[in-house]
Amino acid sequence: MIKDMEIKWLIARLEGIGKKLEDLDDEMEAILPLRPELHEAA
């Protein structure tokens, strides 16, 4: 049986991963104008 705390931990982990992906996306957007070839590949 999965405990309440385990579910809360999993949700927190997923939210943390989502936040990291958003930060990475922001970094990529900052880089793209400098690298047109990356922009075409995306």
Rounded to 5 degrees, what are φ and ψ at 2? -80, 130
Domain ranges within the chain, ordered by starting residue: 4-41
Q: Is residue 42 very low, low, confident or very high in pLDDT (cuts 50, 70, 90)? A: low
**Which comes out higher in pLDDT, residue 1 or 41?**
1
What mean pLDDT is predicted for residues 9-33? Answer: 90
Residues 6+ apart with CB under 8 A from 39: 32, 33
Length in residues, the chain: 42
Question: Which secondary-structure segment (H or E) carries 22?
Answer: helix 4-31
- What is the value of pTM for the model shown? 0.52
